[in-house]
Amino acid sequence: MAIKERMSGNEAVSYAIRQVNPDVMPAFPITPSTEIPQMVSTYIANGEMDTEFIPVESEHSSMSAAIGAESAGARSLTATSSAGLALMWEELLLAASNRLPVVLALVNRTLSGPININCDHSDSMGARDTGWIQIYAENNQEAYDNFIQAYPVAENEAVHLPVMVCQDGFITSHAVENIELIEDCDVKGFVGEYNPEEYLLNPGKPVSAGPYSISSYAMEAKKNQETALENSKAVILEVAKKFKKISGREYGLFEEYRTKDADYIMFIMGSAAGTAKQAVDEMRAHGVKAGVLKLRVFRPFPAEEIAKALSKCKAVAIMDRCESYNGNGGPLGSEVTSALFLNKVMAETVNYIYGLAGRDFTVEEAKTVFNGLMDMAVNGTKLEQYQYIGLRK
Q: Which pLDDT does position 7 carry in this prediction? A: 98
Degrees, nearest 5: CA angle 338-377-320: 40
Residue 1 clears pLDDT 80, i.e. is over it: no
Q: What is the pLDDT of residues 3-16, one digit of tens each?
A: 999 999 999 999 99
SS3 228: helix
Q: Which pLDDT does position 101 carry in this prediction? A: 98
Peptide bond into 300 cis (omega under 30): yes
Q: Which pLDDT does position 196 carry in this prediction? A: 94
How far, in Å, CA of 269 to CA of 306, rounded?
13
Q: What is the pLDDT of residues 184-231, one digit of tens each?
A: 999 999 999 999 999 998 888 888 888 889 999 999 999 999 999 999
Per-residue pLDDT band at 67 (split at 50, 70, 90): very high
Q: Which pLDDT does position 156 carry in this prediction? A: 98
Q: What is the pLDDT of residues 17-29, one digit of tens each?
A: 999 999 999 999 9
Residue 113 clears pLDDT 90, i.e. is over it: no
Q: Which pLDDT does position 254 carry in this prediction? A: 98
Q: Which helix (H) or strand (E) holds 257?
A: strand 254-257
